[in-house]
Amino acid sequence: MKLKLGVDISKAKFDVALLLDGKKYRSKVFSNTGAGFRALLEWIASNVPGGQANVHVCMEATGVYHESLALFLHEQDIDVSVVNPMLVKRFVESEGARSKTDSADAKALARYADRTQPELWQAPSPAVRKLQALVGRLETLKGMRQAEDNRLEVAHEAVRSSLLEIISQLDASIEEVRAQIRQTINDDPDLKSRRGLLETIPGLGDKTIPQLLAYIGRPERFKSVKALIAHAGLAPMIQQSGTSLNKKRGTHPIGHEALRQALYFPAMVAGKYNPVVARFWQRLKEQNKPGKVIVVACMHKLLAIAYGVLKSGKPFDPGRSLAATA
């Protein structure tokens, strides 16, 4: 069995812990850069009997920080698992561990991999990686544009022309990136086909579909719709104990935040124009559910519909879906 290497990664660095004989560790800290990645390979060669062919790396899905290292290791033919942070947190809680440090987290990831043998991570295709980069860049530019627009509202006359110039430049950059996103999808038969499937779902439009294609990637990488829902952090979170604690939250705090944000407004649109989501919305409303709970539940429903369409390769059929839920 391959040795397990836990990796706790952040923006600037990552801690690694190699589990030896099920109880001892060998640890090291590297910079989260290309040089740090190469140094890790050298460290593995020196510390793992049999070298990189005998190691299984396990890390959490932490925003975008883990992606470059996971891809680098995958390209070196090293086994990599990228796991849901919530599952690791529950594992650590079950052990009764109290320490919360980067080094302790790396060790916990190594133990988690040793006990659960998580599935290996599948690297996105080059087209999906390109789309992910473009979608991320578009969201950054939109945030910058909104920030400048907010400043313009209260700006002194002396700086208004500068702000307007920057806003104009940002608008041009936003349109350029949107054009690149459309071209990237058009140039890849798989992405183009999946876009066509998502376009059949009322509530999903030109802004949301590229985000879903980027954030979900290949739908086959999720075993079930429940796995995708958990990945997005849209599974219901319930805290209940006796009669003193009974709290329900719409989502888990851990999950793919960008995917959740991408679904928020589409869920509200689908609540009006998608017959399946609209019926679901109305049923929850009749049960006097709070508005935010209804929206989150409809985000869940809309993501499940998108997964079903992508996994089956068949366009959305509201009649069949309504019959199934009747």
What pLDDT is stored for residue 236 in this prediction? 55
pLDDT digits (tens, 9 = 90+) for 66-86: 888 999 999 999 999 998 887
Task: Report the distance separating Cα 233 and Cα 255, nearest Å.
Answer: 4
pLDDT digits (tens, 9 = 90+) for 128-162: 999 999 999 999 999 999 999 999 999 999 999 99
What pLDDT is stored for residue 37 in this prediction? 96
List the beta bridge partners of residue 239.
247
pLDDT above 70 for 326:
no
Q: What percent of the chain has pLDDT over 90?
A: 71
Average pLDDT over residues 108-119: 94
List the beta bridge partners of residue 83.
60
Task: Report the distance separating Cα 21 and Cα 40, nearest Å.
Answer: 21
Joined together, the tokens standing for residue 64 give 């975008």
Helix extents (H) in 24-66: 34-47
Radius of gyration of the chain (CA): 23
Joined together, the tokens standing for residue 37 give 């990645």
Matching residue, tokens 């071209």 = 183
What pLDDT is stored for residue 238 in this prediction? 42
First to last CA, the chain: 49
3-state secondary structure of 32: coil
What pLDDT is stored for residue 323 in this prediction? 57
pLDDT digits (tens, 9 = 90+) for 266-316: 999 999 999 999 999 999 999 999 999 999 999 999 999 999 999 999 999
pLDDT above 90 for 39:
yes
Is the CATH code 3.30.420.10 the one for domain 3-116? Answer: yes
Task: Report the distance separating Cα 198 and Cα 121, nearest Å.
Answer: 25
Joined together, the tokens standing for residue 103 give 């080094």
pLDDT band with cut points at 50, 70 and 90 for residue 244:
very low
pLDDT digits (tens, 9 = 90+) for 180-215: 999 999 999 999 999 999 999 999 999 999 999 999
CA dihedral for 214, 10, 299, 221, sign (positive or negative): positive
Task: Report the distance separating Cα 144 and Cα 319, nearest Å.
Answer: 42
- Cβ-contact 213, 131 below 8 angstroms: yes
Task: Report the distance separating Cα 176 and Cα 320, nearest Å.
Answer: 39
What pLDDT is stored for residue 86 in this prediction? 78
What pLDDT is stored for residue 96 in this prediction? 81
Lowest mean pLDDT among 31-40, 224-233, 242-251, 304-313: 242-251
What pLDDT is stored for residue 242 in this prediction? 44
Joined together, the tokens standing for residue 278 give 């609209």
* pTM (global) more than 0.95: no
